[in-house]
Structure 1
């Protein structure tokens, strides 16, 4: 039975582990965090990715925790409503569609619960070195003894450790899209009832949506910026940068700035895509954001992760131990789908891609090769 080490315990990694078990392989998932990560924005499951969730047996559970937005308002910099819609929101698209919007932490929790009984999880640890030899890959960990696996998969996000160890520094693969995004939790100070607010003020803007039965908000704050210097990429510096930019807003800036200052789930990173000519090297391959991050601007990161996990496991199962053949088939099947979905992020700078483009991209692959 082939052993596969998966780096990353978010969505892509555990989803891959599920499908690898179905194909008779033995996965191990290593995750830096002490447990499934909480926090994060609402994410979309669209098109073919819904079929993947259905085949996992999770569609009913996921549908049960979907967001229940009634619509959205667009505000001017002073907080006055200039547009409203009860048909669609910027975060999820049409409200009467089949696609599902769900909090990232809910999906992470469900996929982990679905796999934890027959998948080995190594929480609170990370890979520090990989050394490939003829019959396997020796992996060093930060806290655990070294082990050897048949294959290694990097499903560890935009700043993938596996990608850095196997392919080198991330800079050649990172394509900055000219902005940064911060996500954090706040009190529901406007008293929103399943209703989103969106505001833009110069080169900054935000969307806020109520979650957890309207008991709290998730704030997604974006600001235009090229790549930041190293000293501003540290977590503390990023937080202070966001706090300062929020504080300058004319509508509710002080309240949002204080929420960002104290939020335990504060997140901020560049809006960027990962573009690589090859996702595999030897016995190592990449999955999801680690290999082909489309950026949150596409709305398709979660769907690419879920579909990529299904296709990679299918290719490994079909290849019967021949990882070279499996990886070639994985890239051949996934690359057109990835290209179409990454294009959504750049089709309409400053706004969403067209419904027609989203429909083509989200359904642009067959699960049955």
Structure 2
């Protein structure tokens, strides 16, 4: 179905919709991608980003299948491939750092069975920004204070005090989207996973090597170190909690919270906590999915995490952001009536999203067990699964399944240089 949509959107580029003036709220992944296609289709996007510059924090993200196809159509795939991860594999370790289960980049076969491209989120965001900065108006350090849909126009008052009018407004401002709150009300649309995660980097040590090292500590906590560069190592701290609201604390309070929660954790935690106060690329958030009955209201719609965040547990966030942006822009380009464009955008995206938001039941409990016994059992199971002959067998099964997925064909429009 998605392949049909992409073909249909491109085949109708010669029948463009209105020359809309569109505010895009959010400069992460979905926002710049949407602005690129809107500009390409002859519309006038304005991107507003609350931060004072492109954000340097964030985890690694995967691009696969349709996500890679959209990147190709934007003409950025070669730049993305220059930034892809090059680690050897993952060690599941104990409290002393001794591997309990390991799998390398080819554990499931010589080729990655889902043919993913893995890149740090800030790298992807920067590539998108550099790709459109000369064609699209960007406003940094500002955000909507109010959004007034007047029927024929949308008046937006910004935190800076500026007031501007737009034909349409698109919220691409993340899981805690202010656009969504202003237009759709509270955040009851978020289904929380009772999990928090923090990302930041610390100075690299000789012990870090080229392998990801993952340690699960009792109490539903985990520490992971991932090679980032010759001088930095990426850190992931996760913990299970049913408490809400930590995501709204200030950065210093969030760092203090992590210091307290991980104070008794072994492995590399002491080193990480020593460096934590000095981190300037710190990111902290809750993990959840955004589920909404509709993504549009009047002249306002949502794209990416703001409308349908699949959560980091799926690994599909960047994919749905790029695909959603592509589809929304494509439908606006072929409809004179924005209501019809929004309707078709939802019609085509929802089946894709239904697959993208699927999470393996119990995945959080499996990754972050509460007790030492459960951790030991999990490590034993993973040690068995990642034995070479077992991993290759699983790889064949998954490859067979993946090969049945539709492959996006080439279209009449080639990517820009």
Decide whether the 8 Å contact of 1:344 with 1:357 is kept in 2: no
User: Is 2:332 the counterpart of 1:319?
Assistant: no
- Residue 17 of structure 1: aligned partner: 35
SS in 1 for 2:176: coil
User: Is 2:283 the counterpart of 1:267?
Assistant: yes
User: For the pair shown, which has the larger CA radius of gyration, 1 or 2?
Assistant: 2
User: Is 2:124 the counterpart of 1:107?
Assistant: yes
Structure 2 unaligned spans of 5+: 1-18, 368-393, 412-417
TM-score when normalising by structure 2: 0.81
CA positional deviation for 1:197: 0.5
- Residue 127 of structure 1: aligned partner: 144
User: Is 2:233 the counterpart of 1:217?
Assistant: yes
- Structure 2 matches for 1:18-33, cutoff 5 A? 18-33=36-51
Deviations 1:118-144 (A, max 9, x none): 100011111000101121100001115
Decide whether the 8 Å contact of 1:211 with 1:217 is kept in 2: yes
SS in 2 for 1:296: coil
User: Is 2:4 the counterpart of 1:4?
Assistant: no
- Residue 170 of structure 2: aligned partner: 153
Change (3 A) 1:338 1:88: farther
Change (3 A) 1:211 1:4: same
CA positional deviation for 1:257: 1.0
CA positional deviation for 1:55: 0.5
CA positional deviation for 1:246: 2.5
CA positional deviation for 1:255: 0.8
Change (3 A) 1:31 1:232: closer
Q: Structure 2 residue aligned with 1:77, among 95, 100, 106?
A: 95
User: Is 2:158 the counterpart of 1:141?
Assistant: yes
- Structure 2 matches for 1:210-359, cutoff 5 A? 210-212=227-229, 214-229=230-245, 233-320=249-336, 322-344=337-359, 346=361, 348-350=363-365, 356=398
Structure 1 unaligned spans of 5+: none
- Residue 162 of structure 1: aligned partner: 179
SS in 1 for 2:209: coil
SS in 2 for 1:343: coil
Decide whether the 8 Å contact of 1:41 with 1:183 is kept in 2: yes
List, as ranges, runs of 4+ consecutive aligned residues in structure 1 with deviation greater than 4 Å.
94-97, 229-232, 354-368
Change (3 A) 1:192 1:8: same
Change (3 A) 1:243 1:232: farther
Decide whether the 8 Å contact of 1:48 with 1:363 is kept in 2: no
CA positional deviation for 1:36: 1.1
CA positional deviation for 1:340: 1.1
Structure that is richer in strand per residue: 1
Q: Structure 2 residue aligned with 1:41, among 41, 56, 59?
A: 59
Which structure has the higher relative contact order (CA within 8 Å, separation 6+)?
A: 2
Deviates more, 1:130-139 or 1:78-87: 78-87
1:336 and 1:19 map into 2 onto residues whose CA distance is: 22
Decide whether the 8 Å contact of 1:311 with 1:334 is kept in 2: yes
Change (3 A) 1:227 1:272: farther
CA positional deviation for 1:260: 2.1
Deviates more, 1:194-203 or 1:225-234: 225-234
Deviates more, 1:298-307 or 1:236-245: 236-245
Change (3 A) 1:361 1:217: farther
Change (3 A) 1:208 1:95: farther
1:283 and 1:293 map into 2 onto residues whose CA distance is: 21
CA positional deviation for 1:39: 1.9
1:346 and 1:249 map into 2 onto residues whose CA distance is: 27
Deviations 1:97-130 (A, max 9, x none): 5211011111111100100111000111110001
SS in 2 for 1:297: coil
Aligned residues: 362
SS in 2 for 1:247: coil
- Residue 370 of structure 2: aligned partner: none
